[in-house]
A and B are shown apart, each in its own frame.
Chain A
Amino acid sequence: QSVLTQPPSVSAAPGQKVTISCSGSRSNIGSNYVAWYQQVPGTAPKLLIYESNKRPSGIPDRFSGSKSGTSATLGITGLQTGDEADYYCGTWDTGLSAVVFGGGTKLTVL
């Protein structure tokens, strides 16, 4: 059981937009920045979003992040087949004194 809650799967057609939610509590998302990661099976995760809404160099602006209260959202526009991957949210939990992750969301581009 993950501390952060994500939907197990989402899907959309190429070119469309999809959002992935991440729900937490006051001690984690409510108090700290959120990061998002993309993981293609068999490879290491890659940082997509940090500080809730910032993109590292090299990440296209098709990827966006937002946070409101105890929830965060990853948005992906102009979906491509190459976006098929697992997506994870993560943050620091002040109460647990630990990094916590969501259970992951599998994105299928139909």
Chain B
Amino acid sequence: QVQLVESGGGLVKPGGSLRLTCAASGFTFSDYYMSWIRQAPGKGLEWVSHISNSNTYPKYADSVKGRFTISRDNAKNSLYLQLKSLRAEDTAVYYCARPTGDFAFDIWGQGTVVTVSS
């Protein structure tokens, strides 16, 4: 079935780095834009980034621009998010999600937890 599975979260010190991975299955991954969305503890949803199906035209939220990098490998059906210069306010559950043409997210992963703390 259609599925997204995130991995790579963990505990990291402020200023540290982490790489998140999202493994897709059950659909033609290369046909879709893909996105990362996060949710801080007790807070709402925050869109982080998206990338086109051809691994071009990345876009980022202002809060992560210059620190996070999105990429994908269509041959491996995988989406990535490289997190650098992490801050306490980056602590959140990070979801991988598939957007439709109008950026409604119809498929979500289960999320991976990133905790930034000393």
Q: A45 to B37, alpha carbons, bound, how many Å?
A: 11
Q: Is A35 an interface residue (CB 8 A)?
A: yes
A99 touches B50 (CB 8 A): yes
Q: Is A63 an interface residue (CB 8 A)?
A: no
B100 touches A50 (CB 8 A): yes
- Which of B37, B44, B102, B109 sits near A92, CB closer than 8 Å? B102
Least Cβ–Cβ distance between B93 and chain A, in angstroms: 9
Q: Number of B interface residues at 8 Å Cβ cutoff, please give it.
A: 22
Q: A56 to B110, alpha carbons, bound, how many Å?
A: 19
Question: Main secondary structure on chain A at its contact with chain B?
Answer: strand
Scan B58-74; emit 1 where CB is below 8 A from any A CB, else 0: 01011000000000000
Q: A35 to B107, alpha carbons, bound, how many Å?
A: 13
Given contacts A44-B95, A44-B111, A50-B100, A101 and B46 within 8 Å (CB-CB)? yes
Chain B residues near A24: list those with CB within 8 A.
none
Q: Is A109 an interface residue (CB 8 A)?
A: no
- Which of B61, B100, B110 sits near A44, CB closer than 8 Å? B110
Chain B residues near A46: list those with CB within 8 A.
108
Q: A104 to B99, alpha carbons, bound, how many Å?
A: 19
A50 touches B47 (CB 8 A): no
Question: Main secondary structure on chain B at its contact with chain A?
Answer: strand
Q: Is B104 an interface residue (CB 8 A)?
A: yes
Taking Cβ atoms with an 8 Å cutoff, the residues of B that contact A are 35, 37, 44-47, 50, 59, 61-62, 95, 99-100, 102-106, 108-111
Select from chain A the residue with minimum beta-carbon distance to B102: A33
Least Cβ–Cβ distance between A103 and chain B, in angstroms: 5
Q: A2 to B47, alpha carbons, bound, how many Å?
A: 11
A98 touches B59 (CB 8 A): yes
Least Cβ–Cβ distance between A71 and chain B, in angstroms: 17
B61 touches A98 (CB 8 A): yes
Least Cβ–Cβ distance between A10 and chain B, in angstroms: 16
Chain B residues near A92: list those with CB within 8 A.
102-103
